[in-house]
Amino acid sequence: MLLPAKLILILFWPLAMAFSTLHHGWANYDQTNKLDYTGLVEEIKYENPHGMLQLQHEDKTWTVVLAPPSRMSARGLNKDMLQAGDSVRVVGYPHKEVKDEMRAERIYVGDKKIELR
């Protein structure tokens, strides 16, 4: 019985490690450098593990990492509230290595503030 368990571990450990790199940690974002941008939504995705949107701010497009869809819905940001072309304000932190990516702490849609963290 012990041999099959070891065999499974040996076979699946490399696969588990490969997928672990796909999930980014919040430690990769510079929390000492707060960004506060208002711009137009170019694209939005409500997907796991995190929602994402492309935000046009001045002459730059930012990839904004949002909360998981279940958390966004629980906090009042429903899928139908944001569409391409909408103006939003996003407050968050830039990625330490990935240019033009930020993690959103909160988002303002119209006059509504939604805490995402």
Q: How many angstroms separate the CA atoms of 17 and 37, rounded?
A: 35
Q: Is residue 50 part of a domain?
A: yes
Strand partners, 40: 56, 87
The answer, yes or no, to whether residue 80 has pLDDT greater than 50, is: yes
Q: Is residue 10 part of a domain?
A: no
pLDDT-wise least confident of 8-22, 66-80, 91-105: 8-22
Alpha-carbon dihedral of residues 33, 89, 49, 69, nearest 10 degrees? Answer: 150
Strand partners, 55: 41, 62
The boundaries of the domain holding residue 47 are: 29-115
Whole-number pLDDT of residue 98: 96
pTM across the whole model: 0.78
Q: Is residue 7 part of a domain?
A: no
